[in-house]
Every structure is written in C-alpha cells, then in structure tokens.
Structure 1
Amino acid sequence: MSEHETRPEDLEPDQAQPEDDYEYVPGGRRRKGRGLKGCLAVLIALVVLVGGFWFALTRGVDWVSDQFTGPDDYPGPGTGSVEFTVNEGDTVAQMGRNLKEQGVTKSVQAFIDAAAGEPDSSGIQVGAYELQKEMKASDALEVLIDPANLIGFPTVTIPEGLRLTEIVSTLAENTDFPKAAWDRALQQPDKLGLPDYAEGNAEGYLFPATYEIKPGMKPVAILKTMVARWREAADAAQLEAKAEELGHTPAELMIIASLVEAEGRGEDMPKIARVIYNRLDGPGDKGGTNGTLGIDAAIAYGLGLSPGSTELTPEQLAEDTPYNTRINAGLPPTPIEAPGDDAIAAAANPADGGWYYYVTVDLSTGETKFYEDYDGFLEGRDEYKAYCETSDRC
C-alpha cells in the first residue's frame, strides 16, 4: 500500500465513506462513481436539451415558412359543385370559416388574405353561389364578388285576392314549413308588425307579392316581411290620411280595399270603390239599397265557400252571417281577402260619380257597367243573362 494512500479506517468517523461508495480494483480501493443512476440523469438531460432544440428549430422553420409561403391554400381549380350561401351579417372571417367547413377553401386565412387584397370584397352580396370543392381562395373570392353569379333564393308568389287560409296553404306548399308552423306564427300578431287597427287579425294585411325565402327565415320573419310590404303600399296610398278625409277609419278602408279586390279590375276599381262609399255614406233609400252593399263575395266568405262563387243559392243568400252584405247594412267586420296596390289605392282615392250599382256583363273581358239607379241595374242584369246564354263562363 502506498504511503499516500488513505485507508478507510484511518479517517475520522464523520469522514468515512459508506462502503457502497467504494469498489475493489487491483492495487487497492477507490471512490465509486454514480453508476446507472448517473448515466440515466445525463441521458435525460441530453434528451431534454435535444428536444428543446428540435422544438425551437421546427417552430422557427414554421415561422419562416409562414412568412414566405403564406397560409394553406388549394392550387385549384376545384372539382364538383357546392352551393355556398352568404348570410346577412356575415363577416369576411365568417365567410372564410363557412368556406373551409364546406370544403371549398383549405384555410380561413387564405380567404381572408385574398379578400384583404381585393377592394370589391366589401360589396359581396347576400345570397347563394355555386362554387367547387378545393378551390384556390382567390378563385372562390372572384366568384363571390360578382353579383352575376348569384343563384338567388327560393321564391313564393302570393297572388292578389287570396284569403288568409289560402295564403297559409300556398306558403306551406312552397316552403319547408308545415301549415301548423304558419298557424302558430299567426297566433303571435305582436311579432308580425300588424297595425293596431287590425286587432291581431292578419286577414287582408299579408300583402300579395313575390317573396324570397332566405336561409334561416322562419314563418314569423316571412309573415313580418309580408306585413312590411303591406305597410309600403298603405303609405304610398296615404291610407291613414285618406281615411280621415273620407270620414272612415283605416281599418274600414282596408275592408273596402278587399271588397274592391274581389269585385273589380284595372280602371274599374276606383269606380267600384265609389259605389261602396255611395252606398255607405249616401241617402239610405237612394236606389233602394238601404245602406247594404250587396257584395256576394263577402257572403261567400262568411259561409266559408271557395272564392269566385258567382252564383249563390237563395238559401245561401238568406243565411244571416256578419258577412251577409245583402241583409246587414254597412261593411263586413274584416277584410275578406288580400288587396294589392291598385285596390288599396282605389279605396283611398275613389272615382267621382253617382253610381250605386254595377254589373259585369262579360266575364271573359271583365267589362263592367255602372248605374245610378235600380232600373239601370236591371238593364245590366238582363245583358249579363243574355251573355250567359252563349257563354260557358257563367
């Protein structure tokens, strides 16, 4: 043993190393290393170091790539067909999300970047467009900024003169909503925008026109649009102001407009409106009308008969309902159908004349003659009967 070699037994008690920390080697004992535990710690440290380096390297490569290559985008031109809808209130980012969701573009950012470089992107119109799967974002944008590419929304047309029940049937047949959904909507009149004088009844206030059924529109929204269109017609005719001038309420003018719609056409409408006013406001005994209107379309409405019934039986004519304008003087309680622009304008601006009667003497042409007294009416009635003898229109 070397004189400089220290033996364990020569150490002070607190300096002595545990036996396990020494190992035997030829020529003596020496301090034992960390062994497997030490190697494992070093290995873990190396893995962490290399992993951190790799993470930093890949993130750096991705960042550099983004700066020079831009967001993911398809090369185009695309395949197949996709109907894509731009909804009311959609932002460019929302359009981008919707495009990606439908498989049109590869990333939202690609579309946002394309729109940022195109001034016309601010004018993209609400509507449906035909696109393709896997389009280049700039190509998809090019389609959307051109209004000529709008496909258009489904439409439903409500003709003039339909009753509320017929309007509901037409809407149910031409939309995805059943009749029950429309009936529920009509039970919420406060949401439809009806005037107070309609008293919650939409009869006569769902304006006849062609309407686009846009994505997301439900029955209440569609009916509200129809009432808003009625409001335009009423304002154009100055309905409220004219009602005051004529000594009637706006509700009464709407009832008169519906009667005019049922009875007349074209240039005859203001004359028919005048006949109604003369009977309502003139001397009760003038022409023997006694304030009754004698409009059979109203009687048919009160009986629930289909519109267009020109010949009612004596029993039907005698049945006393609030809508029997042969028995009851004055106006029926509500409109009987939906009047259009011309009928509303006629009710607000009746022609000047002393007529109390009119007869449509030719159903094929709609020729209508007007009379101031009952004798004239009888002449017109005879002319109508003669027409019916040679026509199958009666």
Structure 2
Amino acid sequence: MTQRLDQDIFGGGGSAEAARPKPPRRTFQSLTALLISLAVVIGGGYGVYRIAKPAIAKFTASEDYPGPGSGEADIVVNEGDSGRQIASTLVRADVIKTTSAFVKASSDSPRLAQAIQPGSYTLKEQMKAIDALKWLADPKHRTNPRVTIPEGLWASEIYKRLSKATEVPVKDYESAAKDVKALGLPAAAKGNVEGWLFPATYEFPPKATAEQQLKLMVAKAVEVMKGEKIDEADWEKTMILASIVESEAGSSNDRRKVARVFINRLEQPTAGTVGRLDSDATVSYGAKRRAVAPTEAERADASNPYNTKIHKGLPPGPISNPGRDSIDAVAHPADGPWFYFVTVNPSTGETKFAVTLEEQVKNSEEFVAWCKKHPEAKCFG
C-alpha cells in the first residue's frame, strides 16, 4: 500500500529529487528575451544619445558669451525694431550668443533698452549680452551720417553739404529733386524744391538714398507749416516770404519786423516801394552770386525774374530754405508802419527800420560807412 502511494505521489517509483517538477521551458525563453531586450535598449539608448548630444549640450551650456569679444561686426537697428528683433540681428552677426541672453539683459536694464536708437553700429563679435546692450544704448556709438543744414542755404548748397556727409553724389540730389511726387512736395510748391528742404540736424538711415534724404527734409517742412496752422492755400506765399526774411533779417529779434515790412509793401502797393519788395537778397539769388549787396548791373538786370527792385510782387519762388523762426515770423508778423529797413552793421546784424524814404536814406549812410571800413566784405561786388 505504501509503495503504491509513493508511486502515485512521485510518479512511479523514482527518487524524490528526480521526481521534483522541472522549470518550464518558457522561463528560460523569458530570460533570454529580457537579455536581448536589455541589449537593444542599451544599444538604442546610445544611438539616441549620439543624436541628442548637440541638443543636450546646447541646453546645458551657457546662453551667453563670456566676453569681452574681439574683431568687428556691423549691424543696423531699424526704426520700429523690437528688443527681440534687435537680439536676432545681433545673433546673426555673432555679436551675442542667444536672443534670450539679450532679452534678459534688456529686461534687467529697461532704461538701457529704451535708449537704443535706430542706426548703424559697429560692435565686437562674441560679446556678453549686457555689454552689447550698453554699447547700443550709447548714442556716440551710432555711425549714421549726421549733417547739420543751417537756415538760409540754397538747395544747390544743401546738396553739397549732404554729399560731403553721406558720400552720395551731388548729381543724385539734383536728379532726386526733379521727382517731386516721390519727394512728397506739396502742390503749392509748383515742382520747385527750393524752400522746402527744411534746415535742421539730420541723422539719416544707413545707406539712405538722395531721394530718401530729401523726402525727409520736405516732410519736416510740411510738418512745420501744419504746426504753424498755416492754411495750405497760403503755404507757397508764406514760404517765399519766409525765405526772403531768412536772407534779409539781421538777427532773430528782427524777423517779425522784417516780415511786416515786406507784407506792407505787398498789401499797400501805392505807398512806399509801390508794390516792389525791393530785396537785395532776391536779386543776388537770381544772379546766383552770394553777396552782401548786389552790383549796380545786377540791380538793373530786368531779365532776372527774381529782381524785386524792378518786378513787382512776389518772386517766382523761394530764394532760400528758411527755418522755423522765419516761417513763424511771416505767420505772425509784428505790427508796424515800416516800409524800409537796412542792416547798418552786417558784423553784428544791427538793423534799422524806417517809415519814410528820407529816414531810409539816412540809415543807409551808416551801411555805406561800414562797407568803407570793411573793404574785404566787397559790399558792392
């Protein structure tokens, strides 16, 4: 009985060790699969690492160059550029390492960021972002052409000044001046740019063309006209008178009185100079000769349409490019009965005004005396 029981339990009479159940085959297969899978994971991970290594390095590396940088890089900040756009420009030029470094520097130093102006700049390559920000915020680092146009110049004289500052040929300005539509010249100007090139200090965009420069100056002149609230129908008359005032006034304090003299001559043609402006400056402009006073021959030249000593009323157009003070003087002239004036001392600009011709002759004697003492001035050619 016992023997039978053992056979039932152990499977037919073998030893107890031999009778123990064997591990199923699938256990070995699972272990093999696990080892294979682990090898695949390890091998695949190495491949992924090789692919991701640059991104990982970029992620873990500094976003900023250590500075101070070296070499040179030219960049342009355009009108309306945002901080991020400026940063992108700097990154492309390899001035800074990342846009985020510059954006952070700008966020930490908002006053510096707000001080950046449009223009051209020369920086070092591979600078710290904060150093690049400080450099751009300093206006002395802008390399834009800057030119000051004083009041009273002729257009031809302005072209030479612009050309010297920007290296754009004079002929380009002369050509651009003919395209009045492109310049935005007001219809009242009748195609003549003279008078509408507003005198000021300009800092033009990098590589600005002659057309772009003149257009900016014309726009400034129009802006001043609108600012003075002058009716557009009176723009050309105002500009012509302002250009004469600019050329004739001995000092800023006299501009309103000089403007009144010319307005009285126009508005009261039967008195004083009988409708003639009688301006030396207009005669000299027509003769294309800068002078303290025109020669007798120039005064007598009736073929000169700008000879207001012979021709009544306004000349054909402005004779210079006046500034804001002269335009304002014409818009708001002084009150007074004067029909005459003379600058008795060109050195100081002292000017005397008169109502009658007799007073004017007496005052003019002082001017003649000054001319005799200063022959170098060549008052009469």
TM over 0.5: yes
Deviation of 1:292 after TM superposition, in Å, equals: 0.9
Deviation track 1:59-104 (CA, whole Å, cap 9, x = no partner) reads 2333433433355x53322224545432224345543443344342
Asked whether the 8 Å contact 1:104–1:131 carries over to 2, the reply is yes
Deviation of 1:203 after TM superposition, in Å, equals: 0.6
Matches within 5 A, 1:226-237: 226-237=217-228
Deviation track 1:181-229 (CA, whole Å, cap 9, x = no partner) reads 2122212212222222112211101111110022142222221221222
In the alignment, residue 257 of structure 2 is paired with which amino acid?
Answer: K
1:135 has 2:142 as partner: no
In the alignment, residue 291 of structure 2 is paired with which amino acid?
Answer: G
1:274 has 2:272 as partner: no
**2:310 maps to what in 1?**
327
Asked whether the 8 Å contact 1:82–1:131 carries over to 2, the reply is yes
Which residue among 266, 273, 291 is the counterpart of 2:275?
A: 291
**2:175 maps to what in 1?**
184
1:60 has 2:60 as partner: no
**2:326 maps to what in 1?**
343
Deviation of 1:130 after TM superposition, in Å, equals: 5.0
User: What is the total number of aligned residue pairs between the two structures?
Assistant: 333
The share of aligned pairs that are identical, in percent, is: 38
Which residue among 273, 281, 286 is the counterpart of 1:302?
A: 286
In the alignment, residue 267 of structure 2 is paired with which amino acid?
Answer: D
Asked whether the 8 Å contact 1:278–1:355 carries over to 2, the reply is yes
Which residue among 248, 256, 275 is the counterpart of 2:241?
A: 256
Deviation of 1:142 after TM superposition, in Å, equals: 4.9
Deviation of 1:153 after TM superposition, in Å, equals: 2.8
Asked whether the 8 Å contact 1:296–1:310 carries over to 2, the reply is yes
Which residue among 96, 111, 114 is the counterpart of 2:99?
A: 111
Deviation of 1:279 after TM superposition, in Å, equals: 1.0
In the alignment, residue 278 of structure 2 is paired with which amino acid?
Answer: G
1:313 has 2:301 as partner: no
Deviation of 1:355 after TM superposition, in Å, equals: 1.1
Can you give the 5+ residue segments of structure 2 that lack an aligned partner in the other structure? 1-40
In the alignment, residue 289 of structure 2 is paired with which amino acid?
Answer: S
In the alignment, residue 128 of structure 2 is paired with which amino acid?
Answer: K
In the alignment, residue 281 of structure 1 is paired with which amino acid?
Answer: E
In 2: Cα distance, 1:149 partner to 1:371 partner: 49
Deviation of 1:124 after TM superposition, in Å, equals: 6.1
**1:44 maps to what in 2?**
none
Asked whether the 8 Å contact 2:342–2:353 carries over to 1, the reply is yes
Gap change, CA 1:51 and 1:84, over 3 Å in 2: same
**1:19 maps to what in 2?**
none
Can you give the 5+ residue segments of structure 1 that lack an aligned partner in the other structure? 1-48, 244-248
Residue 364 of structure 2 aligns to a residue whose secondary structure is helix
Q: More displaced, 200-209 or 210-219? A: 210-219
**1:219 maps to what in 2?**
210
Cα RMSD, aligned residues only: 2.9
In the alignment, residue 267 of structure 1 is paired with which amino acid?
Answer: N
Gap change, CA 1:377 and 1:138, over 3 Å in 2: closer
Asked whether the 8 Å contact 2:277–2:312 carries over to 1, the reply is yes
Residue 59 of structure 1 aligns to a residue whose secondary structure is helix
Asked whether the 8 Å contact 1:111–1:138 carries over to 2, the reply is no
Deviation of 1:114 after TM superposition, in Å, equals: 4.0
Asked whether the 8 Å contact 1:131–1:140 carries over to 2, the reply is yes
**1:388 maps to what in 2?**
371
Which residue among 81, 88, 105 is the counterpart of 1:90?
A: 81
TM-score (norm 1): 0.75
Which residue among 51, 66, 80 is the counterpart of 1:75?
A: 66
**2:338 maps to what in 1?**
355
Asked whether the 8 Å contact 1:115–1:141 carries over to 2, the reply is no
Asked whether the 8 Å contact 1:87–1:215 carries over to 2, the reply is no
Residue 239 of structure 1 aligns to a residue whose secondary structure is coil
Asked whether the 8 Å contact 2:282–2:308 carries over to 1, the reply is yes
Gap change, CA 1:351 and 1:96, over 3 Å in 2: closer
Asked whether the 8 Å contact 2:105–2:129 carries over to 1, the reply is no
In 2: Cα distance, 1:51 partner to 1:60 partner: 14
Which residue among 166, 181, 194 is the counterpart of 2:185?
A: 194
Asked whether the 8 Å contact 1:257–1:344 carries over to 2, the reply is yes
